[in-house]
Amino acid sequence: MFDIGLGEIAALAVLGLLIFGPDRLPKAAADGARFLKQIRTMASSAKQDLADSAGLDLNDAMDTVKGLADLHPKRLASSIMREEPVAKAPQPPVSGPRQTFDPDAT
């Protein structure tokens, strides 16, 4: 979800340590985590309330969205590339002397 590496996490930890200090940093982290949990709960309940008031079944809507995701150009291209190639029809035998490939001619 977030593209954060180890260096960015270390830089944020040092920055938090400088801003809050070693004694207030754990409390600030706990408060931040509690705030994020409240935001997620509020968003989930708002989504459910909207779905209930509109009379929608979210499972059907999500199935439809997942079905539309298969039409993404990257997925279409990868599915086309994954298909097995069509077998070529056998060529009739060539009469006469067989031509050889000359690597100097190219």
- pLDDT for residue 99: 62
Dist. CA 19–CA 10, nearest whole Å: 14
C-alpha torsion 67→73→75→77, nearest 10: 140
What is the tens place of the pLDDT at every residue in 41-72?
Answer: 999 999 888 888 877 777 777 777 777 777 77
41 in any annotated domain: yes
Count of domains forming the chain: 1
Task: Provide the residue range defining the domain that includes 16.
Answer: 6-81
48 in any annotated domain: yes
pTM value > 0.75 = no
